[in-house]
Structure 1
């Protein structure tokens, strides 16, 4: 029997205006933004709808903004009778997946990612770290150039996104030198990204330790459907396993390509990216074109997805 997966995007998918058109049309979307405003100490609705962009892209704001938008769209799909058999999220998106699976309630999820963003910002206060995208090398080749680049400092694979696209993370000099090594090794492109920290690298271990302390007081419920964590790409319904995976995820690599391949092996043939952009849908084209990849990010894509289903 074929299955439907919802996949939720992470940091970098934000854009000013996200959610605004659907909030005007659907009460459940507007109510989700209003609920987030009650929980947080910032006007997340105003930030998502109107910006300013520089404030929206601050890690501490981006994370609850994307989570709120993704869950607003998720609730809309549920209201339309479209529900998943399994969920996964890319990095930050994993928290939206947990809300969708019933592991966390929405208010707890929003508070959690706000705290996560705060701790991640504090882990590199002087801005010594960064990330870079390497295009055109396979995983083994990227791991090899990271090994060579480590002579200049910490540099590690961070996101295994799809065939030919891997993001590396670490100290600025080491990341910059490794992009040069990647080009020498045959990379079609290797470019430093405009990010606010060395996410998913060992430089985030201090943030992970503090986050673990914070998570001790957060209740994780039994998932209603399987969740595929980033760190091991193995579906689970164990709340404690999910909690441990979130801590590891702070400094561990996002195994996104493996996560998608695992779901396909488990008979998922349709994926819907639920969130403000269509980054993950783009990855799907490179991972496996035989499955259906859809997205919901605005009114037009919602109608297209409903028609396809």
Structure 2
């Protein structure tokens, strides 16, 4: 049996029309979406299929939308008797991975991530925080440049995505200042990201107390497969450890590259991006060209993966 690792995308991968093809073609997915609408007490499915884009992009909407579209695809993979051996999610995607691993129910996870989105928005004043992707520099070089800045502004490393692509997060002034310094120190480019806040930086810590209360209200159980945690890049299945790591995840860097490398060491025949977009597949190709990657977001891409999975190795 082939060893498949599932990857679940995070915020930024949302798009109008996400999940619609599966909703229209599979009664069980239609039911899943309708159940989600009832759980959230508003029509998330209509927002996903019709927009408007500025409403879908709001953190409190994008997060449950991405979770739902990922779990829809995962549901169809399980129906096809495809059993992953491990999973990873990028930021919000970690919740999708935990639902797929049976550690969280979808019914609990949808309102939880909507609340997470709201709290992240409220943690720091709108327009005062920023994030930027730094291309062509190593982690140590970025850290040294940030530490050498003569400033009281906050700048943290937020995402360690792949070789040569690291995201920084902090105050707007801090990110602007860091961008200039990093270009002087040899960064190929520093690209501002279209986000609403300084996610995965210590500026998110104010959200933690309220989010801890939300987490206390949901049941977290042992995961059926290892989920590689953003905070540690290590596999986790224990329920209490999962909870502790989800709290730290809000203000800690997403160690995606390290997670993928650790998963490859455990033996993976393919990485499969489950949900919307191809962002994570693109990152994996930059980390390891040897491991096949698939991104499932429509019937054609699903059929291609299933066909590969069933081939005799």
CA distance in 2, matches of 1:152, 1:252: 20
Question: Counterpart of 1:44?
Answer: 44
Question: Counterpart of 1:189?
Answer: 189
How far did 1:33 drift? 1.2
CA distance in 1, matches of 2:230, 2:204: 16
8 Å CA contact retained: 1:205, 1:251? yes
TM-score scaled by structure 2?
0.96
CA distance in 2, matches of 1:27, 1:2: 28
8 Å CA contact retained: 2:122, 2:207? yes
CA distance in 2, matches of 1:68, 1:100: 11
8 Å CA contact retained: 1:149, 1:174? no
**Does the alignment pair 1:156 with 2:156?**
yes
Deviations 1:86-131 (A, max 9, x none): 1110000000000000001110010110110111011023331010
Unmatched 5+ residue regions in structure 2?
Answer: none
CA distance in 2, matches of 1:210, 1:145: 33
Deviations 1:251-290 (A, max 9, x none): 0000000111111111123110001101000000111111
How far did 1:152 drift? 4.8
8 Å CA contact retained: 2:66, 2:276? yes
How far did 1:150 drift? 6.6
Q: 1:54 to 1:159 in 2, by over 3 A?
A: same
**1:1-309 → structure 2 map (5 Å cutoff):** 3-149=3-149, 151-309=151-309
Q: Say which SS state the counterpart of residue 269 (structure 2) adopts.
A: strand
Deviations 1:62-104 (A, max 9, x none): 1001101110111011111112111110000000000000001
TM-score scaled by structure 1?
0.97
Moved more, 120-129 or 231-240: 120-129
Q: Say which SS state the counterpart of residue 263 (structure 1) adopts.
A: helix
CA distance in 2, matches of 1:84, 1:142: 35
Moved more, 181-190 or 148-157: 148-157
Q: Say which SS state the counterpart of residue 270 (structure 2) adopts.
A: strand
How far did 1:299 drift? 1.9
What CA RMSD, in Å, does the superposition of the two structures yield over aligned residues? 1.3
Q: Aligned residue pairs: how many? A: 309
CA distance in 1, matches of 2:137, 2:232: 22
CA distance in 2, matches of 1:119, 1:139: 28
